[in-house]
Amino acid sequence: MDILVAASHPRFPFPPHITKTHRKSAMPQFLNCSRNTGESNGLSRAPVPRELGSPDDLENDMKSISIEKEDKKQNDIWQLYEEAQQNILYLNKQRLLAMEELERVKNERNSLLDRIEQLEMKKKATARKDIFTIRSELLNRIDALVLSGIIGSTEASSLRRLVIDSRVDLADDVYDIILKNDAEFLAELRRFSKTTKGYACLNLDEVHGLREVEAEFYSYFNGQLHGNKIWTGIVYGIGVTFIDPIYYSSLFSHDKVYGYSNDFERFTYFSRASLDYLVKSGKRPDVLHIHNWQTSIVGPLFWDVFVNQGFENTRIVLTCQGFDSQSLEQPEKVALCGLDPSILLRPDRLQDNNKSHLVNVLKGGVVYSNKVIIMSSVHTKGQIISALGHGLEPTLATHKEKLVIAPSGFDKTTWDPSRDNFLPQCYSADDMKGKSMCKFALQRHLGLEEGASNILVGCIYSGISDDLDKLKKLCYMASSKGVQFIFMRYGQISGMTTSFEIFQDEAKDKHVRFIDKYDEELSHLIISGCDIMLCPSLDDHLLQVPLKAVRYGTAPIPVNFPDSRFRDFGNDSGERSGFLQYINSSFGNMPLGQAIDEIRNSPWEWNRRIKDGMGKDFSWDSECVEVHISAYQVVKKL
């Protein structure tokens, strides 16, 4: 059996430092092993015996082997180094991925915490309304006991204070007593009062958020009243009573609150019933707070009929949203509520300043109130007395010492861009990225070309018939420059449907969108996503769009510039509201064209103005509340 043993070539090539001699001496030697027969392993000739080398050759061979081993060791080290480098790169990549994952988890955690906080706030709001319901029913039962003659007014007053006291824990066992009969209910309530350590009266110094109270009241209890009854409730710790008529209920069976030929009869009936209720229930309020002409008849009724029935320490505050609606009536109509027309038809009382044969109900409210609060965000007392009284200027001048101006406001619990659930992404003055997201979302929703560089102008209107031509000109001028417009209508506007339909047909353009029905959720997106809100009036009592726009980083620009009503902001020496001072120094004197140019040409200065406005508080809880509390404090001392 022939066996051939051959040394293979080295695993690695020769290093460059090995000489040719070394390479030659290091060449592998072949050894032929022959069979016993002497045949040369299949070769044609016999093998040639190899001669043994000299000692120098042996030494060279040993050196070559040593060099080869050293070279292999170095190659192994380099290979390990390369592998280590690759491992380090891999680990760095994995570390970056882990950091990104950690950041994602962190963001998800923060988002989850924000969501939990929102849910907790909603839960607390729901719980608060449950407490209001319990308190309302308790007060309702107490009033029923007084009207039924079961308890007197003194005890009723104590029990009411107990219920109103925010420190009283209205637990389930307290709610259960509402279901008991009158005797059991009274016994349980008396027992509960004895185990309660003290109570707090409703202190007028602590009253806050009056306008928010009204908003919360109407939103929460709208549609909740059924049957003919007197209903008492609690809103933000303030007792509120609904008087539902047993007789003449047809007076209040209308679909709307205002706008009927018998409005005077309806509101006079309500005003007289409210005062009668106070007498029968034994309540003695510090202040009767009335609003506009609809309850102004309370003034003469109180001082001519009711003041001597235990109300010697009660005073009257009138809040008026404006003087354009005053209610002029025939004098004999005031006799329906028990007043004497001959006494009231005098220049210093209810006689109208221009139509002397009629009585002016709102004038009566001004004359007979101890304090008159005029709601206006952009006018001073001097401007209102001299030019905005709608015929009541002489009366306002006579009673100017009792007049104070309070700016309007908005509900900051609902309108806050940093926690607005209607927005795709919230934002604040410190982080405005969310506002851009709102703009993109609004453009996408209405099919407008998306882009932060596209200037977006919004307008939520309720009555702009006098300004329609001006609005058209502004729209045509700006849209021709690529400016985008969004118009949203609020409520039904008589006499304007046809005009606006024509406007819509004329303004059909890829840059203009019309929304013919008010949408609360969309209104949040419009005010947050637009750069400018075009305002028919900066003194907006209905929607407070200018105030909300400032809070959301959107500039309120008046439609009527250069109308003198806006050009001459704050030029008299009267008191100026915080909003008046701000708007006078920022956007009130700026026409739409200038605003557009500043956004494009001076973005840094524009953003500075925007952020400055976002940091101000023009909500109900701010200056408006301070003016009302001050008015309460003043009349209590009279």
Question: DSSP of 253-269, one letter per residue?
Answer: --SSSS--TTHHHHHHH
Instruction: Quote the DSSP letter at residue 401.
Output: G
pLDDT at position 1 is 42
Q: Which of 203-207, 250-254, 629-633 has the highest mean pLDDT?
A: 629-633
pLDDT at position 204 is 31
| Better pLDDT: 115 or 93 | 93
| Better pLDDT: 529 or 232 | 529
pLDDT at position 268 is 92
pLDDT above 70 covers a percentage of the chain that reads 72
DSSP 408-424: ----TTTS-TTS-TTSS
Mean pLDDT calculated for residue range 260-268: 90
Q: Six-digit token pair at 256?
A: 């709307």
pLDDT at position 165 is 59
Mean pLDDT calculated for residue range 153-182: 66
Strands (E) in 139-277, as ranges, are 230-235, 238-243
- In 3D space, the residue among 330, 344, 263 whose CA is nearest the CA of residue 300 turns out to be 344
Q: What is the pLDDT of residues 328-343, one digit of tens each?
A: 999 999 998 999 999 9
Mean pLDDT calculated for residue range 200-208: 32
- 237 is a domain residue: no
CATH number at residue 476: 3.40.50.2000
- 337 is a domain residue: no
11 lies in which domain range?
A: 1-16+29-51
Distance (Å) of CA 48 to CA 7, 27, 32, 296: 18, 17, 9, 138
User: From CA 554, how far away is CA 636, in angstroms rounded?
Assistant: 41
pLDDT at position 140 is 79
Whether residue 475 has pLDDT greater than 70: yes
| Better pLDDT: 530 or 200 | 530
- 40 is a domain residue: yes
- In 3D space, the residue among 547, 589, 541 whose CA is nearest the CA of residue 564 turns out to be 589
Cα-only R_g, the chain = 43
C-beta atoms surrounding 580 within 10 Å: 23
- The helix (run of H) or strand (run of E) holding residue 381 is helix 381-387
Mean pLDDT calculated for residue range 335-364: 94
- The helix (run of H) or strand (run of E) holding residue 24 is helix 20-25
User: From CA 221, how far away is CA 328, in angstroms rounded?
Assistant: 31
Mean pLDDT calculated for residue range 528-557: 90
Q: Six-digit token pair at 610?
A: 């925007």
Whether residue 543 has pLDDT greater than 60: yes
| Better pLDDT: 236 or 84 | 84
pLDDT at position 122 is 57
Mean pLDDT calculated for residue range 94-112: 84
The distance from CA 608 to its chain's CA centroid, rounded to whole angstroms, is 21
| Residue 101: pLDDT band with limits 50, 70, 90 | confident
Whether residue 494 has pLDDT greater than 80: no
Whether residue 569 has pLDDT greater than 80: no
Q: Six-digit token pair at 13?
A: 């090539």
- 98 is a domain residue: no
- 133 is a domain residue: no
37-51, 83-97, 293-307, 501-515: range with lowest mean pLDDT:
37-51
Mean pLDDT calculated for residue range 97-120: 79
pLDDT at position 395 is 96
Tokens 């319990």 sit at which residue? Answer: 134
User: From CA 599, how far away is CA 454, in angstroms rounded?
Assistant: 10
226-240, 256-270, 596-610: range with lowest mean pLDDT:
226-240
Q: Which of 68-72, 228-232, 237-241, 567-571 has the highest mean pLDDT?
A: 68-72
- 193 is a domain residue: no
- 537 is a domain residue: yes
User: From CA 463, how far away is CA 465, in angstroms rounded?
Assistant: 6
| Better pLDDT: 341 or 255 | 341
Q: What is the pLDDT of residues 177-198, one digit of tens each?
A: 777 788 888 887 777 665 543 3
Whether residue 524 has pLDDT greater than 90: yes
| Better pLDDT: 245 or 369 | 369
User: Total domain count for the chain?
Assistant: 2
pLDDT at position 498 is 60
| Better pLDDT: 482 or 292 | 292
Q: Strand order in 287-291's β-sheet?
A: 287-291, 315-320, 371-375, 403-406
108-117, 286-295, 464-473, 533-542: range with lowest mean pLDDT:
464-473
Mean pLDDT score of the chain:
76
User: From CA 41, how far away is CA 39, in angstroms rounded?
Assistant: 6
| Residue 102: pLDDT band with limits 50, 70, 90 | confident
Q: Six-digit token pair at 34?
A: 């022959």
